[in-house]
């Protein structure tokens, strides 16, 4: 029984250490508040940042450990092991506002004052995320085990032990 | 070397449940089926939500195998012995009934649990996924809760068919309707959530993960489960001690 168990666990450990999930997974996250993600060392992840609104200029602050970077989407970065924080740093967009103006018209010696509403555009720069940014996480691959070498060594030791036990019983 | 008498009896009981190639098949299967933890963790953007999903019984293959193995041991080995009357050969062993019951309980229920625990912990260690040990504790208590109920049913009705149907019905009812009750409790206010959380705590765990809130009533539910598991264990022990063939 012990021989069989050692052999089967050994084969399983070697198989697990050689395998990885390669089916790509893509998730889109809408970032309005700071978004935090912890990337394990076993995963290969790409983050694609973009802004859907055409006339908005947005800057994204990316924090990873002691490293902080402010970039303008669209951009693509490779996420390495550790904690990553994405947040809107600054956004600039044109805002249409309305105001009332009094227009004076003199017609046949009569002065008429007309109140008109006119629109005008002003450029707003804010740190609030009025327009969200989109972060598409593209997980390319994920290894099954973190300690692959350890698992391989354990697997080989178990297989050798099972063979040794088998031979000892046989001879 | 002469082994002790108790060890020899335990060896007979154990080998009857786990004959050649059962463990050789079950242990690597449990170990390798934990790849779903990775898959759910990846799918859930490396959050606790994915890990909780991977640990829900019936979704987790490893947990389901442990549960099914214990269920098969209780109903189709111990229960079958009682139904056919062949338990009498074990009762004639020079050993106390309590000790015999504990040996059977260890082989039937605790061994699949130890296999599950060791394979899962080894996998968590090697994969480097930060699985909260609270999830292991919740499954542990839930496992003993359900298996002790099944054991009580098997010893009470002494029929494999009735025990299978009744235990499937009761456990399914508790898990599915318990989950639904928890869901409505979460929507409509936490009136009796402490009691209903004992039926299916995974709904509450998912709620906690999604809403980033803590629900202390989960501990109440776990305590209730633990009490029921203890009561059903002693009930089964008492039934076995008074067993008449």
Task: Please give the backbone phi and psi of residue B124, each rounded to the nearest 5 degrees, phi first.
Answer: -60, -40
The highest-confidence range among B15-29, B61-75, B193-207, by mean pLDDT, is B61-75
Between chains, do B46 and A39 touch, taking CB under 8 Å as contact? Answer: yes
The per-residue pLDDT for B147 is 93
Identify whether the C-beta of residue A91 lies closer than 8 Å to the C-beta of residue A166.
no
Query: Range of B202's domain?
Result: 5-241
Q: Considering chain A, what percentage of its residues have pLDDT values greater than 90? A: 26
Domains in chain B, number: 1
Instruction: Kindly report the nearest CA distance between residue B32 and chain A, in angstroms.
Output: 7
B/e letters for A136-171, b = 16+ CB within 10 Å, e = fewer, are ebbbeebbbbeebeebbebbeebbeebeeeeeeeee
Mean pLDDT, rounded, of chain A: 86
Q: What residue of B is the nearest CA neighbor of A44?
A: B42
Tens digit of each residue's pLDDT (9 = 90 or more) over B151-188 = 999 999 888 889 899 998 999 998 899 889 988 888 88
| Mean pLDDT calculated for residue range A59-75 | 87
CB contact under 8 A, A8 and B25: yes
Tokens 């602050």 — which residue? A61
Residues of B with CB under 8 A from a CB of A: 20-21, 23-25, 27-28, 31-32, 35, 38-39, 41-43, 45-47, 126-129
Q: Which residues between 95 and 154 in chain A have a beta carbon less than 8 angstroms from any beta carbon of chain B?
A: 137, 139, 142, 144-147, 150-151
Mean pLDDT of A79-86: 90
Residue A3, pLDDT score? 87
Give the residue-averaged pLDDT of B202-220: 88
pLDDT exceeds 90 at position B230: yes
Q: What is the DSSP letter of B167?
A: H
Do B152 and B237 contact (CB within 8 A), yes or no?
A: no
Q: Which among B24, B28, B38 has CB closest to A142?
A: B38
pLDDT(A133) > 90:
no
Q: How confident is the model at residue B1 (pLDDT cuts 50, 70, 90)?
A: low
CB contact under 8 A, A144 and B23: no
Nearest CA in chain A to B15: A1
**Taking CB atoms and an 8 Å limit, are A4 and B24 in contact across chains?**
yes
Secondary-structure breakdown of chain B: helix, strand, coil percentages, each rounded to the nearest 5? 80, 0, 20
Q: Which residues of A touch B35 (CB under 8 A)?
A: 16, 19, 21, 144
Cβ distance B24 to A29 less than 8 Å, yes or no, reads no
Q: Which helix (H) or strand (E) segment is B38 a member of?
A: helix B35-43
Q: Is the predicted pLDDT of residue B2 greater than 70, yes or no?
A: no
Complex prediction ipTM: 0.84
| Nearest residue in chain B measured CA to CA from A148 | B126
Taking CB atoms within 8 Å and a gap of at least 24, the contacts of B30-33 are: B30/B62, B30/B65, B30/B66, B30/B115, B30/B116, B30/B119, B30/B120, B31/A9, B31/A12, B31/A13, B31/A16, B31/B62, B31/B119, B31/B122, B31/B123, B32/A12, B32/A15, B32/A16, B33/B60, B33/B61, B33/B62, B33/B65
Amino acid A100: pLDDT? 84
Q: Indicate whether B6 pLDDT > 60.
A: yes
Hey, are the CB atoms on A40 and B23 less than 8 Å from each other? no
Give the dihedral of Cα atoms B156, B160, B166, B169; nearest 10 deg: 150
Q: Do A40 and B129 touch (CB under 8 A)?
A: yes
pLDDT at position A34 is 87
| Average confidence (pLDDT) over A62-85 | 88
End-to-end CA distance of chain A: 18
The model's pLDDT over B50-79, given as tens digits with 9 standing for 90+, comes to: 999 999 988 899 999 999 999 999 999 998
CB distance B109 to B152 below 8 Å: no
Report the percentage of chain B scoring pLDDT > 90.
51
Task: Indicate if the pLDDT at residue B108 is higher than 60.
Answer: yes
Distance CA A67, CA A84 (A): 10
Size of interface A-B (CB pairs under 8 A): 69
Q: What pLDDT does B150 receive?
A: 93
* B193 has a pLDDT exceeding 90: no
pLDDT digits over B79-92, tens only? Answer: 888 888 888 888 88
Q: Which two tokens stand for residue B133?
A: 């040990």
- At residue B159, the pLDDT reads 85
Neighbours of B173 (CB within 10 A): 11
**Closest chain B residue by Cα to residue A84:** B46
State the pLDDT confidence band at B143, using cuts at 50, 70 and 90: very high
CATH number of A21-93+122-143: 2.60.120.340
Q: CA-CA distance, B114 to B151, in Å (whole number)?
A: 18
Dist CA B164 CA A152 (whole Å)? 41
């Amino acid at each position: 029984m012990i021989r069989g168990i050692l052999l089967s666990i050994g084969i399983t450990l070697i198989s697990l250490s050689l395998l990885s999930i390669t089916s790509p997974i893509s998730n889109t996250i809408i970032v309005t508040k700071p978004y935090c993600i912890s990337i394990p060392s076993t995963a290969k992840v790409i983050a694609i940042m973009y802004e859907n609104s055409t006339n908005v200029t947005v800057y994204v602050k990316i924090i990873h450990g002691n490293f902080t970077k402010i970039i303008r989407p669209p951009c693509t970065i490779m996420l390495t092991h550790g904690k990553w924080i994405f947040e809107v740093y600054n956004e600039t967009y044109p805002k249409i506002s309305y105001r009332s103006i009094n227009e004076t018209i003199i017609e046949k010696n009569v002065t008429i004052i007309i109140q008109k509403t006119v629109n005008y555009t002003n450029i707003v720069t804010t740190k609030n995320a009025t327009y969200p940014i989109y972060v598409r996480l593209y997980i390319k691959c994920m290894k099954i085990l973190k300690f692959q070498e350890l698992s391989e060594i354990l697997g080989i030791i178990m297989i050798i032990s099972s063979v040794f036990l088998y031979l000892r019983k046989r001879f | 070397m002469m082994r002790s008498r108790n060890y020899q009896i335990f060896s007979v009981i154990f080998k009857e449940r786990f004959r050649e190639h059962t463990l050789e098949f079950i242990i690597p299967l449990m170990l390798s089926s934990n790849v779903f933890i990775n898959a759910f963790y990846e799918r859930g953007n490396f959050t606790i939500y994915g890990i909780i999903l991977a640990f829900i019984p019936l979704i987790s293959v490893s947990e389901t195998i442990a549960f099914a193995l214990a269920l098969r041991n209780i109903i189709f080995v111990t229960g079958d012995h009682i139904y056919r009357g062949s338990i009498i050969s074990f009762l004639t062993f020079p050993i106390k009934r309590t000790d015999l019951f504990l040996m059977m309980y260890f082989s039937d229920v605790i061994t699949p649990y130890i296999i599950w625990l060791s394979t899962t912990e080894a996998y968590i260690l090697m994969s480097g996924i930060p699985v909260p040990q609270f999830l292991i504790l919740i499954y542990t208590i839930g496992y003993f809760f359900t298996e002790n109920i099944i054991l009580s049913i098997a010893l009470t009705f002494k029929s494999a068919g009735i025990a299978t149907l009744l235990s499937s019905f009761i456990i399914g009812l508790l898990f599915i309707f318990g989950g639904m009750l928890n869901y409505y409790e979460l929507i409509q206010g936490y009136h009796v959530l402490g009691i209903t959380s004992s039926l299916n705590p995974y709904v509450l765990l998912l709620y906690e993960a999604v809403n980033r809130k803590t629900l202390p009533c989960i501990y109440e539910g776990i305590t209730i489960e633990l009490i029921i598991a203890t009561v059903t264990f002693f009930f089964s022990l008492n039934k076995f001690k008074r067993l008449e063939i």
